[in-house]
Amino acid sequence: MSVSVIIKWGGQEYSIRSLSEEDTVMDLKQSIKSLTGVLPERQKLLGLKVKGKPAEDLVKLGSLKLKPNTKIMMMGTREEGLEEVLAPPPENDDVVNDFDIEEEVIEVENREENLAKIARRVKDYKVEELNPPREGKRLLVLDVDYTLFDHKSCAETGQELMRPFLHEFLTSAYEDYDIVIWSATSMKWIDAKMKYEEFYSRKNTIMFDDIGRNFLMNPQNGLKIRPFMKAHLNREKDRELYKLAQYLQEIAKLEDFTGLNHKHWER
Q: Which of 122-126, 179-183, 241-245 has the lowest mean pLDDT?
A: 122-126
Burial 162-186 (b: 16+ CB within 10 A, else e): bbbbbebbbebbebebbebebeeee
Q: Identify the pLDDT of residue 242.
A: 92
Q: Which of 50-64, 97-111, 119-133, 206-220 has the lowest mean pLDDT?
A: 97-111
Q: Report the chain's mean pLDDT, rounded to a whole number.
A: 79
Question: Is residue 166 over pLDDT 70?
Answer: yes
Q: Identify the pLDDT of residue 112.
A: 73
Give tens-digit pLDDT for 110-128: 667 767 777 787 777 676 7
Q: Which secondary-structure segment (H or E) carries 113? A: helix 112-124
Contacts of 153 (CB under 8 A, 6+ apart): 161, 229, 230, 231, 232
**Does the pTM exceed 0.85?**
no
Q: Which of 65-74, 193-202, 249-258 has the lowest mean pLDDT?
A: 193-202
Compare 190 and 206 and report the one with higher pLDDT: 206
**Alpha-carbon dihedral of residues 46, 127, 184, 236, nearest 10 degrees?**
10
Compare 22 and 267 and report the one with higher pLDDT: 22
Q: Report how far residue 190's alpha carbon sits from residue 206's, in angstroms, rounded to the nearest whole number.
A: 9
pLDDT over 90 percentage in the chain? 31
pLDDT over 70 percentage in the chain? 78
Q: Identify the pLDDT of residue 197.
A: 54
Q: Identify the pLDDT of residue 98.
A: 46
Compare 223 and 96 and report the one with higher pLDDT: 223
Of the chain, the end-to-end C-alpha distance in Å amounts to 45
Q: Report how far residue 99's alpha carbon sits from residue 218's, in angstroms, rounded to the nearest whole number.
A: 16
Q: Identify the pLDDT of residue 263.
A: 86
